[in-house]
Each structure stands twice: as structure tokens, then as C-alpha cells.
């Protein structure tokens, strides 16, 4: 069965700084990969997805993620964080109709 | 209405009450999901419906009873709940499950408090 790990429970960055959120998965082949964001009291919103092809994926709100097969990783990046990016971010792995979510990384943005 | 909507947004119920959560998707999808999100726990998949048939039930207690009358609507009927059932209940939808994995679109959730 597939699994997904987000090693950072909480990250704090300054507004304007770059951001990288880590995601590692465990699966024998290339799975479907997703990043979602959840603002307080809200549902999850899809930021981007990777199914195949170009390993650098562009998403909404200026986010991008890179799939690295050799490292079984799908890290989320943003070059310059805005205060409105403060939220919780979830990585998810999809295999044969089943999607497994990571435990989430809470992002705090300081002025 | 667009996307996935859920009602009510907040619900407080006693342990002996019966209530229902409603979810409606306006995306033309054929698969719908119920998730439970508790503090400091991973997102827990409860039920999956594909083309109005239940395809997954992850050992959820019988006090939770799902219903999917058509591909646009999903209900979660609640009865004799326990305080540990207090959580955010999220509904999601996606294209049907036939042929692979598709991204899920989530509603805003119902914040349930059991007293």
C-alpha cells in the first residue's frame, strides 16, 4: 500500500521569503501526486497535481512542485511567500483509485 | 451555487440526537467521499461512492450511515454519537473512479460538536 510523509509539522517563514514544503511517498511505481491547501475552517483546495510528463508542475497562487523519482519526493515551492499563504498544506498520493493524504504542514508567515 | 457545498456549516448535537449532514456537488462528478478531520490526526476517509454505489467503507462505526440518492447528493446520517466524533466532516467529489485516480474537490466542511 502507498504511504505519504510530510516530515515538517510546522514551518515559519518571513513574508517575501522563499518556501519549500517537503513530501515523500512510498510506492513501487510512479503514483499520482497532489498538493492541497486548507485555510482555517475551510475545506481543502487543490493547488496542483502530477500525473505524468514534465516533472516540474505549475499550480495556482504561484506555487510549483517538482517530482523527483530518485528521491520519491514531490516538494512544493514558492519563490516569495505572501501573508495570505498562511494555511495548512497537504500532500496526497493516488494509486489505483485510492488517495492517501499526508498529515499536513502548517505554515505560519511572519511580517 | 458552484463547486461542492455542505450544510450545515456548524452543528452541535447531544449524544441521543439524530441529525444529517448534506453535501451537494455541482461539478458533474460521479464519485463522492466523506472524510473526518480531527485535530492532530490525518484525514480519515470514511465512505466512497462511485456512480451512486458504495465502494469503500473504512470500518466506520454504524452510528454513521451514508446515503447517496444520486450522483450530485451525499448525506451522512448521524445517531447516538460519542464526544470523540466531534470533528470537521468534509465532503469531496471527483470524476468517477473507473480508470484511475482523479483530483478531489472539497466542500467547506461541517464542524460537528457532540455534547
Average pLDDT over residues B3-25: 95
For residue B50, what pLDDT is reported? 86
Name the closest residue on chain B to residue A5, using Cα atoms.
B42
Average pLDDT over residues B63-73: 94
Residue B98 has pLDDT above 70, yes or no: no
Is the CB of A98 less than 8 angstroms away from the CB of B103?
Answer: no
- Contacts of residue A49 in chain B, CB cutoff 8 Å? 103
* pLDDT band of B99, cuts 50, 70, 90: low
Q: What is the percent of chain A with per-residue pLDDT over 70, rounded to a whole number?
A: 100
For residue B35, what pLDDT is reported? 95
* pLDDT band of A29, cuts 50, 70, 90: confident
List the grid coordinates of A89: 498544506
A27 contacts chain B (CB < 8 A): no
Residue A19 has pLDDT above 70, yes or no: yes
B105 contacts chain A (CB < 8 A): yes
- Contacts of residue B109 in chain A, CB cutoff 8 Å? 41-43
List the grid coordinates of A74: 514531490
Find the range with the poorest average confidence among A61-65, A89-93, B32-36, B101-105. B101-105
A52 contacts chain B (CB < 8 A): no
For residue A1, what pLDDT is reported? 77
Place of cell 498538493: A35
How many residue pairs bridge chain A and chain B with CB atoms within 8 Å of each other? Answer: 45
Shortest distance, CA B18 to any CA of chain A (angstroms) = 24
Place of cell 458533474: B28
Average pLDDT over residues B23-27: 96
Average pLDDT over residues B50-77: 89
B66 contacts chain A (CB < 8 A): no
Residue B58 has pLDDT above 80, yes or no: no
For residue A53, what pLDDT is reported? 85
B101 contacts chain A (CB < 8 A): yes
B5 contacts chain A (CB < 8 A): no
d(CA A65, CA A48): 8
For residue B25, what pLDDT is reported? 97
Maximal C-alpha separation, chain A: 43
List the grid coordinates of A96: 489505483
Residue A73 has pLDDT above 80, yes or no: yes
Dump the DSSP string for A1-55.
Answer: --EEE---SEEEEETTS-EEE--EEE-SS--EEEEEEE-TTS-EEEEEEE-SS-S
* pLDDT band of B88, cuts 50, 70, 90: very high
**How far is C-alpha A79 from the geometric centre of its chain's CA atoms?**
14
Residue B17 has pLDDT above 70, yes or no: yes
Residue B22 has pLDDT above 80, yes or no: yes
Minimum-distance CB partner of B103 among A34, A97, A104: A34
Q: Is A45 left (phi over 0), alpha (psi -120 to 50) or beta?
A: beta
Amino acid at each position: 500500500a502507498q504511504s505519504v510523509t510530510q516530515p515538517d509539522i510546522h514551518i515559519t517563514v518571513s513574508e517575501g521569503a522563499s518556501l519549500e514544503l517537503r513530501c515523500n511517498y512510498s510506492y513501487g511505481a510512479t503514483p499520482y501526486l497532489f498538493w492541497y491547501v486548507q485555510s482555517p475552517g475551510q475545506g481543502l483546495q487543490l493547488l496542483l497535481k502530477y500525473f505524468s510528463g514534465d516533472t516540474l508542475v505549475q499550480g495556482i497562487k504561484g506555487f510549483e512542485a517538482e517530482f523527483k523519482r530518485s528521491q520519491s519526493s514531490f516538494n512544493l515551492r514558492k519563490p516569495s511567500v505572501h501573508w495570505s499563504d498562511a494555511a495548512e498544506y497537504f500532500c496526497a498520493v493516488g494509486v489505483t483509485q485510492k488517495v492517501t493524504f499526508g498529515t499536513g504542514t502548517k505554515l505560519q508567515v511572519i511580517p | 451555487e458552484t463547486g461542492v457545498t455542505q450544510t450545515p456549516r456548524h452543528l452541535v448535537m447531544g449524544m441521543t440526537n439524530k441529525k444529517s449532514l448534506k453535501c451537494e456537488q455541482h461539478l458533474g462528478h460521479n464519485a463522492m467521499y466523506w472524510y473526518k478531520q480531527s485535530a492532530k490526526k490525518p484525514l480519515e476517509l470514511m465512505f466512497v461512492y462511485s456512480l451512486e454505489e458504495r465502494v469503500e467503507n473504512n470500518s466506520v462505526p454504524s452510528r454513521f450511515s451514508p446515503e447517496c440518492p444520486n450522483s450530485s447528493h451525499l448525506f451522512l446520517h448521524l445517531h447516538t454519537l460519542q464526544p470523540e466524533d466531534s470533528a470537521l466532516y468534509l465532503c469531496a467529489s471527483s470524476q468517477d473512479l473507473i480508470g484511475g485516480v482523479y483530483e478531489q474537490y472539497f466542500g467547506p466542511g461541517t464542524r460537528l460538536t457532540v455534547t
